[in-house]
Amino acid sequence: MVWRHAILLEPAASDDPRTDFAELLTPIDPTAPALSVGELSTQRGDGIFESIGVVDGHAQEVEAHLERLAHSAAICQLPPPNVAQWRQAVQAIARECPPGECVIKLILSRGVEHGPAPTAWVTASTAPDNAAVREHGIRVVTLDRGYDSGAPARAPWLLLGAKTLSYATNMAAIRAAHARGADDAVFVSSDGVLLEGPTSSLVLRQGDRFVTPEPGAGILHGTTQLSLFSWLETQGYETGYASLPVSALREADAAWLLSSVRLAAGVTAVDGEPLAYDAALTASINAYLLSPRD
Ligand code: PLP
């Protein structure tokens, strides 16, 4: 059975929803209805979120996730999150997590239609079992994201680069990948630049150098990729950000999709063609990603 826990971050009685937060973390029944039908998160997907991996009660890379929450809020013109309040909520819910792997979700919605303040809540639940995918890898297909690489600068209202609640297209991309006999997808801009997976960052190995698409290309800056790069540097590897053509994936010495809960999934095939898969390095990467990280 899936274990679940939830906390609501109540807005303060004052006009500033970011003050007097300490006593306003209210545990709520995660199985009971909690949101108003006027919620803009459910009506319009208008809000942002973060998913944080938890290993044996330790929430991983909390600061990087809080920074990205603040970055997403700025892009979406939501009030700046009170980072101390969110940190406190993460710590409180992490203490409730059972041993093993869990996932904490932070959700900040624009609130109830015509309401005074955003709605914010935090949940924790047991994570799915990703052991097989970490060990055996995934087949990916490249999918056109439908935007060219100038779109993020030309059309900021697309909110590219923010982790918004509007993930219906990301989920549709995963279904399209399944329909093509693959496990996951890699988005490519309409002018042929590699971007990211629908729920993950892409990292390529090119000799002793590891590269990932530039976050400025309208993709999320992955906390797992950032953490992996700092570890790879301690292992003597070079790391970097680059604008990469689709051919770079097909020609890579190895490739991974990285995310906070699944961690590193090695790519075994691209568009039906096999790609070199480094099982030993993937195991070392996942061992690192499962160790306590701040
Ligand atoms: N890119 C997208 C679109 C994502 O949804 C995610 C994670 O869910 C990532 C990248 C990877 O981010 P992180 O490593 O912080 O989980």
Residue to probe by mutation, ligand 1, list 130, 140, 259, most atoms within 8 Å of CB: 259
Residues 6 or more apart whose Cβ sits within 8 Å of residue 135: 279, 282, 283
User: How high is the pLDDT of residue 118?
Assistant: 87
pLDDT per residue, tens digit, the chain (294 aa), is 788 888 877 654 444 544 444 456 788 888 888 888 999 999 999 999 999 999 999 999 999 999 999 999 999 999 888 888 899 999 999 999 999 999 999 999 999 998 878 889 999 999 999 999 999 999 999 999 999 999 999 999 999 999 999 999 999 999 999 999 999 999 999 999 999 999 999 999 999 999 999 998 899 999 999 999 999 999 999 999 999 999 999 999 999 999 999 999 999 999 999 999 999 999 999 999 999 999
Distance 90 CA to ligand 1 centre (A): 18
Atom of ligand 1 nearest to the CA of 226: 14
Atom of ligand 1 nearest to the CA of 170: 3
Distance 257 CA to ligand 1 centre (A): 9
Q: Which residues line ligand 1 (CB under 6 A)?
A: 51, 196, 199-201, 220, 222-225, 258-260
* Domain-wise residue ranges, the chain: 4-126, 131-289
User: How high is the pLDDT of residue 82?
Assistant: 86
Contact status, residue 202 vs residue 221, Cβ threshold 8 Å: no
The Cα–Cα gap between 236 and 1 comes to: 43
CATH fold, domain 4-126, is D-amino Acid Aminotransferase; Chain A, domain 1 (3.30.470)
Distances from the Cα of 275 to the Cα of 49, 105, 141, 258, angstroms:
33, 33, 12, 17
Hey, do 4-126 and 131-289 end up sharing a CATH topology, with the first three levels equal? Answer: no
- CATH number for the region 131-289 comes to 3.20.10.10
